[in-house]
Amino acid sequence: MKCVEEGHVYKLNNTQSSQAQEIVFMKRTNGELVHDGTTNEEVLKMLIERITYLNTKCRCRENEIVINKLEESLMWLNKRTELRIAQGVETLDKAHKS
């Protein structure tokens, strides 16, 4: 993993090649969207789906623990968003609605 822009753009290594996958997170400055991208919540949802799928292929306690902790992390991020919306410091983005 290489950080391209701290907190917003990352390159993730592929397993078999020197190429990398770029992950871009949305960026706000003073509440304004500077560039679009994904959210922590979307990445967690993807990981939950992937590990759940892998767990159907080779079930193990460790996968179930990881799924549980990822779901818990997603719950806390959603709670944080709810609190920020209630405080008026954040609005509900399209990415949060899915």
pLDDT > 60? residue 94? no
Is the same domain home to 51 and 67?
A: yes
Is the same domain home to 46 and 15?
A: no
How far lies 82's CA from each of 29, 51, 53, 95, 96, in Å?
Answer: 20, 26, 29, 14, 10
pLDDT > 60? residue 26? yes
pLDDT per residue over 51-77, tens digit each? 999 999 999 999 999 999 999 999 999
Is the same domain home to 11 and 48?
A: no
pLDDT > 90? residue 97? no
- Tracing tokens 């997603």 back to the chain, one arrives at 74
Q: Is 7 left (phi over 0), alpha (psi -120 to 50) or beta?
A: left
CA dist 89 and 30 (Å) reads: 10
Is the same domain home to 18 and 32?
A: yes
pLDDT on residue 98: 52
Total number of domains constituting the chain: 2
Secondary structure (DSSP) of 33-64? EEE--B-HHHHHHHHHHHHHHHHHHS--HHHH
